[in-house]
Structure 1
Amino acid sequence: MKSNSSRTFMFISSLLIFLSINVLGSSINFPDPKGGTITGTILEAATNKPMEYVNIAVFNWNDSSMLTGTITSESGQFRIDKLPLGVYYLRITFLGFDNKLTDKIELDHTKPTKDIGNITLSPSASKLDEVTIVGEKAKVEYQIDKRVINVDESTVAKGGSAVNVLENTPSIQVDPQGNVTLRGSSDYVVLVDGKPSVLKGSDALKQINAASIKQIEVITNPSARYDADGTAGIINVIRKKDQLQGLNGNINTSIGTTDKYTANALVNYRKGKVNVFAGIDFAKNKYRNSIDINNISYLTEGTQHIEESADQYYHNDNLSGKAGIDIDLNDRNSINLSGSYGEQGYDQGTDTRYNMLWFPANGKIFSFSSNSLDVTGRVPEVTLDYTHKFGENHSLSISSYYTSWDGRDINNLVEKSANDLYQDMGTKSALHFIKDNFNYQYRANIDYKKPIKEGSLEVGGQLRYENRTDDLKFQNLDVQTNTWIVNPLYTYKLDYVNNIYSGYATFSNKVLGIGYMLGIRSEYFTRKISFTNDGSKYDFDKFMLYPSVHLSKDLNGKQQFQLSYSRRINRPQPWLLNKQPGYIDPYNVFQGSPILEPEYTDAFEFNYRLMYKITTLSVQTYFRNTRNSFSTLRLLQDSGIMIHQLINANSQKSYGIEAGLDLNFTKWWQVSTGANLYHSTISALVSGSESSKEAYSWDARLISNFSLKWGTRLQAVSYFQGPGIDAQGNTSGFYTVNISVNQPFMKGKGNIGFTAQNVFNSIKFDYTVKSVKYNNDYQIQAEGPILMITASYSFNNFQNKQRGRSDDASFKGGGMF
């Protein structure tokens, strides 16, 4: 399955980039100053005594990126050496005390050392009616081009996956089967630490353990410096890694009803200029849905009425390890090498009972079927990054990334005759296929950033290469002889190659108090598909330009206006281009199309944000115009089998308004609300005639957070999803309620929690499709309630000398984990 050429390509490409880094570092005479130093002393305000083990983090003044960190000594003093000359500020934190941010600290050649003197910290814990109050970070942070979800602050998501985190996030919708959409669209790109996931969309998010996530960035209108993929935007999952000196780590585990288990551990060690990290993830979760289907088909020989009752399951499994090293070669050059390897997979299937009735014959036919798909694969990832800093906000980065999937899909579908008690009366039909598949992708990026007067210029280029091979053997059962026969129509080998060459440039500055970022991205991509059971070649190539414009205006630090535009693309994934049938059950077949073209979307947004006393109000308006939009066409065959085929609809337009309101009623009670009202219009060619549908839909959420005595945290989340449409059908709405409680112990080193999801078993909806040839009605109900217990423990080498402090001294920084 693995090709030697792919391994050779990966090795040579990575080697060339590594050699180029060394050549670059040796051939250019970069200045290597000794750097600057910041010193100071931290005192407790009430006693004026030195505070030991206080976290000191250094941040860049211009972009708030973290550089390094340290802790105070027994005398409360700290010293941070070898800082690049520039402008910084410090964040000083110690659990149980108010955080402090320093003023601007400038280090230059004339004054490379700065002593900030004595800084005092005051306890943040106060008592209101015997309830202990502890401040915490905002659940959602709004930045100029994205929203950042702080996963550590979401107690309801602990023990689940990234999907559970996103259930509580503005702009995100999650259906009863765990499928995630971004403002009603499933076309978004999932990144993990800024790198693409080998799995796509919801499948990728279901595999990521929530306990390993630090933050999730939701970018609804990305600028030109991002890949153009994803018409709805980008979801970037940032995993945890610590940047504090010394050894630290944490362990997380959970257990839930109906076989749900997760465990996660990571260790980080930083000494001087070297940081080493390693971790392991385990997940084994089972989810179940029930589906009732009522199908009426108007066929030549009469009317066929089928009632179906189905139990559907989805299991995801993951066992993976990861490790890496960050090295600061000197004050200007750094290199990062990281990798992971894991066994991933999922099983999904449907057990269905059928009650078929024919008119005018009025004869009842009973049957049942079992359909299972088992997907397993090995997933290695390797990343090599190099960064050179010329000066403040002036840098060059080169990165190389490789990932692959080497796996096997096994599908079994059996239909059996039955009596009215659904007892087995013999096999009617059966099919079986095994598909070996290997796909890999390689990316090489170069990015350059330079300040120009008060502005900033960013330019870069990217090479992307993706290859996929499938080898499928399809067999049907001869019921008379009970032997399996190879079906040559559906036995094939597929070869898929996708090349993308792109470059971008953005420039940002301010004029008349209005911040702006202008960008352009050029791209040429080619796609080649071939099947051994089809002599045709399916080739596609196109050159595209993707402009972007972002404007922002701040008023007195309390109000902000944003206006943005970008052009995006959605390339169909290989499985959507596969014309070979995939059986959902004996009466429903999915079929891709190798001539499917990409979607193109022009996206506009206008946003407003107000911060006033205890209230934060945010309002986003948006409009998306999509050409060649993907839509599912349902074609009823004379045999009564429904073909579900993906097509390019003519267009899809959607616009809406999204509002969020955060209220801090007291120090121990915060409420966050949000609602999204949007309108969609879909135009498509259905059964030879133009079809156009439009409808309004909405979703809303209410999140209430309580910080109680002894550090106890309680969170209640309500989510409401309104009805929706696609090219042929309508979907009803549903609601759900999740509740969680979290209790720290061992002075904050440990945490134990309890979560109840879908408390009222209310996640259920109807999907209805009507045409002149058939009427289909689906009723889907998700599993619920789901109960889960979570536990976590954090450690570091600074705890041994802790003398009466209230919590651990680790500082969580940004990074790979």
Structure 2
Amino acid sequence: MCISFTRTLALILTLSISTFGFSQVSPTPPSDQIQISGKLVQGSNQEPLPFATIAIYAVADSNIVNNTLTEDNGTFSMEVPPGKYYAEISYIGFEDKTLSDISIAAGQAPLDLGMVDMRADAVALQEVEVRAEKSQMEFKLDRRVFNVGKDLTNAGNSAADILDNVPSVTVDPEGNVSLRGSQGVRILVNGKPSGLLSAGETEALLRMQGDIIQSVEVITNPSARYEAEGEAGIINIILKKNQEKGVNGSFGITAGHPSNYGASYNLNLRRQKFNFFSNFGIDYRRGPGGGLSTQRFFDDGVLTEYYSTDRDQVRGGLGGYMQLGADWYLNDKNIMTASLLYRAGEDDNDATVTYRDFDSNQNVVAKTVRDIDETEKENNLEFSLDYTKTFDKKDQEWKTTFKYILDDETELAEYRQTSDETIGLLQQRSSNTEDEINLLVQSDYVHPFTESSRMEAGLRAAIRTINNDFLVEEQQNGEFVTLPSFDDQLKYNENIYAAYLIGGTEFGAFSFQGGVRAELSDITATLVRSSQSNEQNYLSFFPSASLSYEITQTQQLQLSYSRRLSRPYFRRLLPFSNFNDPRNNNVGNPNLRPEFTDSYELGYLKYFDRGTMLSSIYYRNTSGVIEELILPGEDGTSIEFPVNLSTRNSYGLEFNFSYDLTDAWDVTTDFNFFRAMINGQYEDIDYSADTYSWNSRLNSKIQIGEPVQLQTSFRYRAPRNTPQGRRLSSASLDIAGSVDVFSGKGTLTLSCRDLLNTRKRRSIVDLPNFKSESVFQWRQARQVVLTFNYRLNQDKKPDRGGDRDDFDE
């Protein structure tokens, strides 16, 4: 049964390749052609391999010239014109094989390639799926893989929108990313830091185009191979990259409301020793946002101040990126990859903030209007160089990476404020310039001892330098005068040196992996003008371990542990406000320390005939918890301020389920229930909190005929307690539909995100001397987007691609 299915699948795939290949090549008269023949056998026992694919490519342009299937006895034969060629041989469950330096001269005798050995690929055998099309979600014990292209509602949207559709992940209206309810998550691109995110993950994810994303990996308990940053885990964004022969790629255009217009492409040109790739995107986005809040201040229970803040804003502008790169196959064991990425953007952010002051009877006694005109410009340059060497021994590999990122960002704002209580116009202006340099050098080595045991080791150095200059000026007597409290320069130097060692083995149905990572952190944050400095130098060890048990071929169990940390993002160290809303300031804390977390998880993975279920029980203990507190000021304003509290203990239960109800209808759902207990004090005030909460998501997709798909997604986030009050619930509904056009080469998609416009942050602060209620959207979540994608020499199924770590799997 298995062999019959394999042969049938191989035949279908080969006929598809053959149809495509012959449509690209003009036939050559039979009289000019020479016969090539041979026999394909298993390397282990010399048994013939029937129905394997043999494809012949021209060395000059890597175009396919001819292909065929092997017979029942493993033999094959085909004809080609004179020239220089190479052959690609593939068979399900075996490693692909390349035969180089095939030369055919005019008039020569037929060429016999003889016996060609194929080596079984155990990994490939495990990855064969019954469905020919990749599913939207792939569940593994240590990670979840979300295939972006399979979610119709992602078309034409940002990276933040895409992450918000990933199970276990939530993105609030400001773009803050949480994993299982915690914001201590590390976001990587192709397994490494990237210039696409160097401007700060929150704003960068809102800006980053989703068209370049192929898949998203969620790793909740990473091994020691990964950097220790991110106490809740790692989100790894895999970018599109194709390595198929010839020229292929895709083009896309987008139009949406509110203003969302863009165009993009990703192209690939493969020659025998070179693979050239390029990605480009340009977009114009401007979205409305804002919200309403009320603040009340008390003194011994007596109301002393009461006002509301109404904010209307429009944010966004023009942005784009260009990436060029190449893979150079020096030989069959050495690969060099180089890429250059340039990204630029210019946003015009306009806002109007209206304050209304009330008396004790809730009558308006004063009104103040503050108009804000902000421009934000950013330029980013990233150069990356990778070298990979493989060896004769299977899975033995050495990989070295060098990456340089240069980022420059400037924010300039003008403020004009009028009030019923004052005469004249208050004019202010601010500037915030930020220059950042990142340097990364990393080397990893994998050494297999046997087929069931191996060791991995690596070294890493990450050097980061940031200069941030902040200045606020106010017009007095016709001249702008510096406000001393908002004039300083932050110099931030972060040097992280790391080494790790991992060992793993299999014994029967069990597999074990254990390792330790050492990181030396050398961090200095200095306020130049005020001569304040915060130095942190510490050596930390981060062990990890996992024990897996294969109950049956369709059931697996894994117990894992890891220790991780979250260093405060440098903007949380800045003791300045952005000055857009001086009554509700958001400032940093130069004295913040990192969080450390011990994470434990038990996971159970079950495969069904038509679906997959992953259930997990997890527990995390965190010390030095960083929480944002809202503190009332003596001048009737509030300040949002990050501080280190004592501990947080959280545990939860999570389910991820994917099932094909019929051949045309599949559903995916996830549910996460957790409890978090925070303990700690700040300035002798207890901010302990105990909360039970949950979030869930349901996705349904229906295929109507061959070309049409419809999808509906619903998300709900339950309310939760905070150290100072409560975060209220939020829900959203997405719908989308797509149709294939141009004989399947193109896809037209219409989607609506947050149809009911209910995805808003609603929060309550309830303190003895301060109470606040707020509803806010950084950018309106509801949007309608029409996208068109055209595939050049590609089928609709996305390539696996990406920079993956096979050891952890």
TM-score of the pair, normalised by structure 2: 0.83
Aligned pair 1:114/2:117, yes or no? Answer: yes
On the 8 A contact 1:760/1:784 being kept in 2, the answer is no
On the 8 A contact 2:334/2:390 being kept in 1, the answer is yes
Aligned pair 1:640/2:636, yes or no? Answer: yes
Give 1:111 shift. 10
Q: Aligned to 1:186, which of 183, 187, 207?
A: 183
Q: Deviations over 1:605-661 (max 9, x none)?
A: 111111122342211111111111111122212210111111111112211111122
On the 8 A contact 2:175/2:205 being kept in 1, the answer is no
Q: Aligned to 1:786, which of 768, 780, 783?
A: 783
Q: Aligned to 1:814, which of 801, 804, 809?
A: 801
Output the CA distance in 2 between the equivalents of 1:114 and 1:41. Answer: 22
Output the CA distance in 2 between the equivalents of 1:310 and 1:46. Answer: 57
On the 8 A contact 2:296/2:303 being kept in 1, the answer is no
Output the CA distance in 2 between the equivalents of 1:429 and 1:185. Answer: 41
Output the CA distance in 1 between the equivalents of 2:328 and 2:311. Answer: 54
Q: Which runs of 5+ in 1 are unaligned?
A: 1-39, 56-60, 62-67, 84-88, 92-100, 117-133, 420-424, 797-806
Change (3 A) 1:361 1:234: closer
Output the CA distance in 1 between the equivalents of 2:17 and 2:314. Answer: 58
Identify the residue that residue 231 of structure 1 maps to in structure 2.
Answer: 231
What does residue range 355-370 of structure 1 map to in structure 2 within 5 Å? 355-359=356-360, 364-370=365-371
Change (3 A) 1:254 1:571: same
Q: How many residues align?
A: 718
Change (3 A) 1:815 1:173: closer
Q: Which runs of 5+ in 2 are unaligned?
A: 1-6, 23-42, 44-54, 58-62, 71-75, 77-84, 100-112, 120-130, 805-809
Aligned pair 1:511/2:507, yes or no? Answer: yes
Q: Aligned to 1:407, which of 398, 406, 409?
A: 409
Output the CA distance in 2 between the equivalents of 1:778 and 1:220. Answer: 32
Q: Aligned to 2:18, which of 34, 46, 51?
A: 51
Give 1:769 shift. 0.3
Q: Aligned to 2:544, which of 521, 540, 548?
A: 548
Q: Deviations over 1:111-154 (max 9, x none)?
A: 982379xxxxxxxxxxxxxxxxx963111111232111111211
Identify the residue that residue 381 of structure 1 maps to in structure 2.
Answer: 382
Identify the residue that residue 292 of structure 1 maps to in structure 2.
Answer: 292
Output the CA distance in 1 between the equivalents of 2:56 and 2:798. Answer: 8
- Secondary structure of the residue aligned to 1:195 is coil
Q: Aligned to 2:419, which of 417, 420, 438?
A: 417
Aligned pair 1:157/2:134, yes or no? Answer: no
Point out the more displaced range, 497-506 or 291-300. Answer: 291-300
Give 1:710 shift. 3.5
Identify the residue that residue 397 of structure 1 maps to in structure 2.
Answer: 399
Give 1:409 shift. 1.6
- Secondary structure of the residue aligned to 2:222 is coil
- Secondary structure of the residue aligned to 2:149 is helix
On the 8 A contact 1:705/1:715 being kept in 2, the answer is yes
On the 8 A contact 2:611/2:660 being kept in 1, the answer is yes
Change (3 A) 1:112 1:484: farther
Change (3 A) 1:617 1:46: closer
Q: Aligned to 1:469, which of 460, 467, 470?
A: 467
Point out the more displaced range, 764-773 or 521-530. Answer: 764-773
Output the CA distance in 2 between the equivalents of 1:316 and 1:226. Answer: 35
- Secondary structure of the residue aligned to 1:194 is coil
Q: Deviations over 1:491-530 (max 9, x none)?
A: 2222111111110011111134211110100011111122
On the 8 A contact 1:370/1:415 being kept in 2, the answer is yes
What does residue range 337-356 of structure 1 map to in structure 2 within 5 Å? 337-346=338-347, 348=349, 350-356=351-357
**1:787 partner amino acid:** V
Point out the more displaced range, 407-416 or 255-264. Answer: 407-416
Percent identity over the alignment is: 25
Output the CA distance in 1 between the equivalents of 2:601 and 2:216. Answer: 21
Output the CA distance in 1 between the equivalents of 2:434 and 2:16. Answer: 64
**1:410 partner amino acid:** L
Output the CA distance in 1 between the equivalents of 2:712 and 2:363. Answer: 52
**1:814 partner amino acid:** G
What does residue range 213-362 of structure 1 map to in structure 2 within 5 Å? 213-298=213-298, 303-315=304-316, 317-346=318-347, 348=349, 350-359=351-360
Change (3 A) 1:362 1:178: closer
Give 1:684 shift. 2.5
Output the CA distance in 2 between the equivalents of 1:50 and 1:685. Answer: 66
What does residue range 353-752 of structure 1 map to in structure 2 within 5 Å? 353-359=354-360, 364-391=365-392, 392-418=394-420, 427=424, 429-453=426-450, 454-478=452-476, 481-752=477-748
On the 8 A contact 1:752/1:789 being kept in 2, the answer is yes
On the 8 A contact 2:342/2:381 being kept in 1, the answer is yes
Output the CA distance in 1 between the equivalents of 2:17 and 2:575. Answer: 71
Aligned pair 1:144/2:141, yes or no? Answer: yes
Aligned pair 1:769/2:769, yes or no? Answer: no
Output the CA distance in 1 between the equivalents of 2:12 and 2:361. Answer: 89
**1:472 partner amino acid:** F
Give 1:49 shift. 11
- Secondary structure of the residue aligned to 1:226 is coil
Computed over aligned residues only, the root mean square deviation of the Cα atoms, in angstroms, reads: 3.2
Output the CA distance in 2 between the equivalents of 1:46 and 1:511. Answer: 36
Q: Deviations over 1:700-759 (max 9, x none)?
A: 111101111131111110111111233212111121110111111111111111001111
On the 8 A contact 2:396/2:448 being kept in 1, the answer is yes
TM-score of the pair, normalised by structure 1: 0.82
- Secondary structure of the residue aligned to 1:585 is coil
